[in-house]
Amino acid sequence: MSRIKWKWISLVIGCVFLIMAPLFLSAYWVRVLTSVFMFAVMAESWNILAGFCGYPSFGNAVFFGLGAYTTCILMVKLHQPFLVGVIAGAILCTIYAIVLGFPILRLKGHYFAIATLGLAEATKELVTNLEKITKGSEGISLPIIPGDVKVIYAAFYFAMFGIMIVTILFTYWMSKRRLGYAFQAIRADEEAALVTGINAAWYKTIAWSASAFFTGLVGGVYAYWTAFINPEGVFNVGITVKMLLMTFLGGPGTVFGPIVGAFIFEFLSELVWSHFVNVHAAFLGVLIVLVVIFMPGGVMKLMRGKLSLSKMLANIKENRI
């Protein structure tokens, strides 16, 4: 009982700290945290379809890109305010997921993964070629927001923070409801789930649409935040990979796993960057290998039991051939 209490207390303290952070952290760290929140949202929403439902999408970056581009196009070409652009972007992503989910969600496992990857790349190529609308490979730049840098940064900080909280709440709410159980049933054994009357197609579509919505939201905010987007940058498969890594680092299929994973991953990257300028990229590779071998359930799983070397070695015993 007291364990759960501690969990909630530390969460509250964490939230308070994060809310107060822009007051005492430098602009750089505010930016880093904003980025963490952004990836946390993406990882969390990826987790809805992948961790809970068991459908790992390798193409979720497509929603990030679509959100970003919709926002930019509406703001630059149609002179719409930012909020309109962002919401429109998120809605477009949801529709995209629903329409394309129809054929693609029928595929399973690796096939689904590759199909979503194909979808993301195809969309990128399409956006790059439709120059009249998207300015193609040149990219779109948004006007710089006038005003005090600190205030602007704080605004984006809270925007991303807010979206992150909403995403977490949604995931939590969903996990406790029939929706969440249906997802997990689908992941465990889809045929069995169908037999018990769960309309798998319907639920999968909801999962992917929710995933698309939140990712599209942060894509739109991101566009305004960095003031410049191009196809290679926002439809980048590296973004999807990051979502994946963070979710697995933290623990897939859990509510807080992806969030924890996002924080750990970003902070590790920061550390490695600043201190190992020449070898940091290779170092990252080694790190990933070590994490997968010793902590395959993610940090959340590790935290459920006791942290010990024997536990980590047991992981290998469990997973080795």
Partner 1 sequence: MVILQNIVNGLLLGGLYAGVALGFSLVWGVMNVINLAHGAFIMIGAYVTFWIYYFFKIDPFITIPFSMAFTFLLGYLVQKYIINLVVRAQVFMVFILTFGIEIFLMNLSNLICTADFRSVTPSYSGAGINLGGILVPYIRLAICFIALFLTYLLNLFLNKTKTGNAIKATSLDKEAAQLVGVHIGKIYTITFALSAAVAGAAGSLIAIIVAISPYMGGVYTFKAALIACLGGLGSIPGVIAGGLVVGMAETMGSQFISPGYKEFIGFVLLVFILIFRPEGIMGKKFFAVIKH
Partner 2 sequence: MKKLFLILTMAVLAFLLVGTVFAQDVVRLGCSISLTGKLTYEGKATRDGYEFYKTLINKKGGLNIGGKKYRVDIKYYDDESNVQTSTKLIEKLIAEDKIDFILGPYGSGPSFATSAITEKYKRVMMLPMAASPEVYERGFKYMFGMLATTDIYLRDIFYLAAQQTPKPKIVAVLWKNDLANKGLSDPIPQFCKDSGMDLVYNEKFAAGASDFSAELTVIKAKNPDLLVFLSQLEQFIMGVKQIKDMKINAKMIMNGIAVPQPDLVKSLGKDAEYMVGPTHWYRTYRFRDDLFGDSENYVKEFKQMFGYEPEYHNVGASAGIQVLGIALEKAGVLDVEKVQNALATMSVNTFWGPIQFDEKGKIKGRKMPVGQILKGRFTLVYPSESAETKLVWPKPAW
Closest to partner 2 by CB, 186 vs 217, is 217
- Mind giving me the DSSP string for 49-65? IIIIT----S-THHHHH
32 makes contact, choosing from partner 1, partner 2, none, with CB < 5 to 8 Å by partner type, with: partner 2
Residues in contact with partner 2, counted by CB under 8 A, come to a total of 29
Interface residue with partner 2 among 82, 162, 233, 293 (CB under 8 A) is 233
Window 130-149: contact mask with partner 2 (x via CB under 8 A): ------xxxx-x--x----x
210 makes contact, choosing from partner 2, partner 1, none, with CB < 5 to 8 Å by partner type, with: none
CA–chain centroid gap for 46, Å, is: 5
Find the part of the chain contacting partner 2 (CB under 8 A) among 84-92, 99-107, 269-277, 297-305.
Answer: 269-277
Window 69-98: contact mask with partner 2 (x via CB under 8 A): ------------------------------
**Which residues lie closer than 8 Å to 63 by C-beta, 6 or more apart?**
93, 96, 97, 211, 212, 215, 216, 219
Min. distance of Cβ 311 from partner 1 in angstroms? Answer: 15
Residues that bind partner 1 (CB under 8 A): 54, 56, 103-104, 106-111, 113-115, 117-119, 121-122, 125-126, 128-129, 241, 244-245, 248, 278-279, 281-282, 284-289, 291-293, 296, 316, 318-321
Tokens of 292: 């997968």
28 makes contact, choosing from partner 1, partner 2, none, with CB < 5 to 8 Å by partner type, with: partner 2
Write out the binding residues for partner 2, residues 234-263 only, by CB under 8 A. Answer: 238
CA distance linking residue 264 with residue 208, whole number of Å:
25
Closest to partner 1 by CB, 106 vs 177, is 106
Closest to partner 2 by CB, 136 vs 296, is 136
Tokens of 144: 């710089």
Whether the CB-CB separation of 153 and 27 falls below 8 Å is answered with yes
Write out the binding residues for partner 2, residues 154-213 only, by CB under 8 A. Answer: none
CA distance linking residue 55 with residue 39, whole number of Å:
19
CA atoms within 13 A on the CB side of 246: 32
Within 10 angstroms of residue 161's Cβ, the number of other Cβ atoms is: 22
**Which residues lie closer than 8 Å to 321 by C-beta, 6 or more apart?**
none
Q: Which alpha helices (DSSP H) does 130-236 contain, by range?
A: 131-134, 149-176, 178-188, 190-195, 200-226, 231-234
Please give the DSSP secondary-structure letter assigned to residue 279: T
188 makes contact, choosing from partner 1, partner 2, none, with CB < 5 to 8 Å by partner type, with: none
Q: Which residues bind partner 2 (CB under 8 A)?
A: 26-29, 31-32, 35, 125, 128, 136-139, 141, 144, 149, 226-228, 230, 232-233, 238, 273-274, 277-278, 280-281
